[in-house]
Structure 1
Amino acid sequence: MSELNLLFRKRIGFPEKEHLSFENLDNVLAKTAQNIPFENLCIIGEKSKDISKQNLVEKILVKKEGGLCYELNSIFYFFLIENGFDAVLVRGVVYKNELQEYLTIGRTHVAILITHKEQKYLIDTGFGGNLPLKPVPLTREVVASDNGEFRVKKEKSEHGDYILELKLKHKDTDWKIGYAFDSKKPISDVSEFNDIQRIITEHPDSPFNKSPLITKLTNRGNITLTNTSFTQWDNGLVTKEKIESERFNELLKRYFEM
Structure 2
Amino acid sequence: MSELNVLFRRRIGWPESGEIAFEQLGDVLERTSRSIPFENMCIIEQRTNDITKENLIRKMLEKQEGGLCYELNALFYFFLLENGFDAVLTRGVVYEHAAQRFLTLGRTHVTILLTRQNQTYVIDTGFGGNLPLKPVPLSGEEVSSANGAFRIKRADSELGDYVFEMKLKHKDMDWRIGYTFDSKKPIRDVSELEEVREIIEHHAGSPFNKNPLITKLTNKGNVTLTDTTFTQWVDGVVSKEAIDKERFTELLKKHFG
| TM-score in same-fold range (> 0.5) | yes
Structure 1 length normalisation: TM-score? 0.99
2:31 is the counterpart of 1:26: no
Give the 3-state SS of the residue equivalent to 2:154 in structure 1: strand
Task: Find the counterpart in structure 2 of residue 102 from structure 1.
Answer: 102
Q: Percent identity?
A: 65
2:107 is the counterpart of 1:118: no
Give the 3-state SS of the residue equivalent to 1:205 in structure 2: coil
**Alignment partners' CA distance in 2, 1:2 and 1:251:** 34
Task: Find the counterpart in structure 2 of residue 188 from structure 1.
Answer: 188
* Post-superposition CA distance 1:54-96 (Å, at most 9, x none): 0000000000000000000000000000000000000000001
2:246 is the counterpart of 1:233: no
Q: Any residues of structure 2 matched to 1:74-153 within 5 Å, and which?
A: 74-153=74-153
Taking a change above 3 Å as real, the CA distance of residues 123 and 59 of structure 1, as seen in their structure-2 partners, is same
Task: Find the counterpart in structure 2 of residue 223 from structure 1.
Answer: 223
Task: Find the counterpart in structure 2 of residue 13 from structure 1.
Answer: 13
1:188, CA displacement in angstroms? 3.4
Give the 3-state SS of the residue equivalent to 1:43 in structure 2: helix
1:17, CA displacement in angstroms? 1.7
**Alignment partners' CA distance in 2, 1:4 and 1:158:** 36
* Post-superposition CA distance 1:103-158 (Å, at most 9, x none): 11000000000001110000000000000000000011100000000000111111
Task: Find the counterpart in structure 1 of residue 176 from structure 2.
Answer: 176
Task: Find the counterpart in structure 1 of residue 198 from structure 2.
Answer: 198
Task: Find the counterpart in structure 2 of residue 156 from structure 1.
Answer: 156
**Alignment partners' CA distance in 1, 2:91 and 2:20:** 25
**Alignment partners' CA distance in 2, 1:198 and 1:117:** 36
Task: Find the counterpart in structure 1 of residue 250 from structure 2.
Answer: 250
1:162, CA displacement in angstroms? 0.3
**Alignment partners' CA distance in 2, 1:253 and 1:159:** 39
| Amino acid in structure 2 at the alignment position of 1:88 | V
**Alignment partners' CA distance in 2, 1:117 and 1:139:** 13
**Alignment partners' CA distance in 2, 1:13 and 1:74:** 20
1:18, CA displacement in angstroms? 3.4
Structure 2 length normalisation: TM-score? 0.99
Give the 3-state SS of the residue equivalent to 1:152 in structure 2: strand
Instruction: Work out the number of aligned pairs and report it.
Output: 257
2:91 is the counterpart of 1:56: no
Task: Find the counterpart in structure 1 of residue 73 from structure 2.
Answer: 73
RMSD of aligned Cα (Å): 0.6
Runs of 4+ in 1 over 2 A off after TM superposition: none
**Alignment partners' CA distance in 1, 2:166 and 2:98:** 15
| Amino acid in structure 2 at the alignment position of 1:131 | L
**Alignment partners' CA distance in 1, 2:197 and 2:75:** 15
Any gaps of 5 or more consecutive residues in structure 2? none
Any gaps of 5 or more consecutive residues in structure 1? none
* Post-superposition CA distance 1:212-253 (Å, at most 9, x none): 000000010000000001000001000011100011111111
| Amino acid in structure 1 at the alignment position of 2:174 | D
**Alignment partners' CA distance in 2, 1:45 and 1:111:** 25
| Amino acid in structure 1 at the alignment position of 2:141 | E
Give the 3-state SS of the residue equivalent to 2:152 in structure 1: strand
Task: Find the counterpart in structure 2 of residue 209 from structure 1.
Answer: 209
